[in-house]
Amino acid sequence: QVHLAESGGGLVQVGGTRRLSCEASGSSYSRNVMAWFRQAPGKEREFVSGISWDGGSTAYADSVLGRFTISRDNAKNTMTLRMISLKPEDTAVYYCAAKGTYGIGRDEYQYGHWGQGTQVTVSS
């Protein structure tokens, strides 16, 4: 079982930078694929980025490629999403997710563990 808790959300100006963190608890964390999803008002939750259990493989949505960087530290049970050049369309609740099966999935239904989410608002 993995328990996830996000932090780092807040209000940021267009073009600004924000770092989100996901702290995980549970003995199986280091063996889980981790990912960030986001949900904007009135829209479905969408994949943002994912990282393999050892950090060797990453994946990004086209909309954030080149602006967002995902990383993890299994020794500290944390995952981070560094976001730069933020745009108003990045405004959303960002969720941390984990799954115990192999491969970075882009479908939210592949993930069995979720955090409560953290709000990121990009203002112009």
Can you tell me the distance from the alpha carbon of 72 to that of 62, in angstroms, rounded to the nearest whole number?
21
pLDDT value at residue 111: 95
Cα angle vertex 62, ends 117, 8, to 5°?
A: 25
Helices (H) and strands (E) in the chain, counts: 0, 11
pLDDT value at residue 38: 98
Residue 1 has pLDDT above 80, yes or no: no
The tokens describing 71, both together, are: 């990383």
pLDDT value at residue 23: 96
Q: Is 85 left (phi over 0), alpha (psi -120 to 50) or beta?
A: left
Distance set, CA 85 to CA 51, 75, 88 (Å): 21, 29, 10
Give the model confidence (pLDDT) of 19-54 as tens digits: 999 999 876 666 789 999 999 999 999 999 999 999
pLDDT value at residue 8: 98
pLDDT value at residue 27: 66
Residue 106 has pLDDT above 90, yes or no: yes
Look at strands 46-51 and 33-39 and give their pairing: antiparallel
Can you tell me the distance from the alpha carbon of 119 to that of 92, in angstroms, rounded to the nearest whole number?
6
Give the model confidence (pLDDT) of 56-88 as tens digits: 999 999 999 999 999 999 999 999 999 999 999
